[in-house]
Structure 1
């Protein structure tokens, strides 16, 4: 795999708020003079969590760069030090392969969110309840499963599902946005569709959906989203490391931000700043750990 960083350096976030307690970071370098790079994938959940963490780190005095990458490139960037941290590692299943490949170059700080789920999702009105029923009903789904970006761990598991169940449906790759657009269009036309998806995701708050049963348990059980940092971050930026280590929130809190991001014309970073401002009691726990 090419290790070239196919990044879209989407946002160079200027340091805006310096709290009085910031003080000095390692080696006498002030936090506001340090830049930290957060990598993420363009999933609605990770857009929400990464922008919230960016807003919090800025409140602590850091300059923050956000880099949008594929899942594979995100972990590669972390292993080479091109990225300092991610709050987007789905474990123990979805991103297990990536973690195994770069395990000696990164540090897993543990879960920042519990209660995730992966699987194939259909509208609640669809008269199919299990993955092993898909072949007999392939025609109502146009013989295809609508997926997300091809480098995502979810897509690797979906490929395993196709093989395990010997499905005659084609797995189409795309992105979170194209998957949601296809789902929205199908629901608006009261059509059947099957997509790869996960919880937490704002689409479950917008539409009545259901996961297809997975008798072979290919997708596995509930997962957690972990914070992972590059080796050496604790020495280089101890305050940022401590904040990242303390970061933990609930699916409901993440859902609040994801729904804000669905408002037409809204900006994920501005929404994150608003959420941080409105939830200072939570944020203070991360800042003062």
Structure 2
């Protein structure tokens, strides 16, 4: 009997040990799983559902850049809103804190007056694209090379310069060029960026003369053979850059978003590739998402160091 009793006790002890070890093993697996899920959650939600609003002027170039940056923020977990405004309203929205930022400041010429008016009320994060330019543009098949020669083509061009929206910096410069070059009887006809490029495309298809307000980066330079007219009076100024501006307090409120905007920088070729996709019919969000997916190495530079 005693022998059987010890056997029973031994068996019970072994069973208890097995159960303890199994419990410990299950606990470790649970902790590892929980830790893994927690890490994945943290990595997928840098923005933690926080809202960020970007504003932009409704130019093809700024539609492209703003939607690309917006997509990067969406991938980081932010609730992103992008809003198109006219030039003055865009600057005012960032300066008065109604919007968080913009990547659409053309300096030093195009938005120079607006920058001077609002610079003390916003934070200048510097250029995000270099080598920008504005001026008067014609198809390369036209036998003209300078704004000063436009009077010789007054009849062919019907004394008309095809512009974009009234109040745009390039339109204001074009109107100033009419005075600087004594283009009596000439008119800068304002419309929209889309209407301007439509008129340009129709003229090129028919090999007719046309002069438009132009800027670089723009998809039309990838689509058509164009040239800037020389500007000996420097009415349109020299090389420009596109800068990023954010509201005061953004660094404290959304430090990770601030860092991404501060590190955002790309090339004319990058921007024009997105613009061309949109001009060919792609939705801006879809074109931006495709570019972000194909350029993760550059995007990782913009998001480096965020927490």
Provide TM-score, normalisation by structure 2. 0.84
Distance across 2 between alignment mates of 1:207 and 1:40: 26
Corresponding residue for residue 74 of structure 1: 90
- 2:45–2:77 Cα contact (<8 Å) kept: no
**Residue 211 of structure 1 pairs with residue 233 of structure 2:** no
- Counterpart CA distance in 1 for 2:41 and 2:300 is 11
Q: Verify: 1:231 aligned to 2:279, yes or no.
A: no
- What's 2:189 paired with? 172
- C-alpha deviation, 1:83, in angstroms: 1.4
Q: Are 1:42 and 2:58 counterparts?
A: yes
Bigger Rg, structure 1 or 2 = 2
Aligned to 2:263: 246
CA contact (8 A) 2:137 2:229 kept: yes
How far off is 1:23 after superposition? 6.1
* Structure with greater proportional helix content: 2
Contact 1:19 1:60 in 2 (8 A): no
Deviation digits for residues 59-103 of structure 1 (CA, Å, limit 9, x no counterpart): 111111011111111111111212111100011111010011111
Given candidates 281, 284, 287, the residue that maps to 2:300 is 284
1:245 partner SS: helix
Report the CA distance shift for 1:91/1:238 in structure 2 as closer, same or farther (over 3 A).
Answer: same
TM-superposed CA distance for 1:20, in Å, is: 4.6
Q: Which runs of 5+ in 1 are unaligned?
A: 1-17, 25-30
**Counterpart for residue 34 of structure 2:** none
Give distance in 1, aligned partners of 2:41 and 2:173: 43
Name the count of aligned residue pairs: 265
- Give the match for residue 11 of structure 1: none
Give how far 1:136 is off: 2.2
Task: Say which SS state the counterpart of residue 230 (structure 2) adopts.
Answer: coil
Give the distance between the partners of 1:55 and 1:138, measured in 2 at CA: 46
Q: Are positions 1:114 and 2:130 aligned together? A: yes
The equivalent residue for 2:204 is 187
- Deviation, 1:22, is 5.9
Whether 1:21 and 2:43 are equivalent positions in the alignment is yes
C-alpha separation in 1, matches of 2:217 and 2:169: 16
Correspondence list, 1:76-115, <5 A: 76-115=92-131
After TM superposition, give the deviation of residue 235 of structure 1 in Å: 1.1
Partner of residue 154, structure 2: 138
Match of 1:6 in 2: none
Runs (5+) with no aligned partner, structure 2: 1-39
Question: Matched residue of 1:90: which SS?
Answer: strand
Q: Does residue 158 of structure 2 align to residue 151 of structure 1?
A: no
Aligned equivalents of 2:232, 2:154: Cα separation in 1: 18
Instruction: For residue 139 of structure 1, report the CA deviation from its aligned partner.
Output: 1.1
Cα pair 2:45 2:76 within 8 Å, conserved:
no
Report the CA distance shift for 1:22/1:241 in structure 2 as closer, same or farther (over 3 A): farther
* TM-score, normalization by structure 1: 0.89
Aligned to 1:60: 76
Alpha-carbon separation, structure 2, partners of 1:276 and 1:158: 35
Given that residues 55 and 85 in structure 2 are in contact (C-alpha distance below 8 angstroms), is that contact kept between their aligned partners in structure 1?
yes
What RMSD, in angstroms, separates the aligned Cα atoms of the two structures?
1.4
Q: CA deviation at 1:21?
A: 3.3
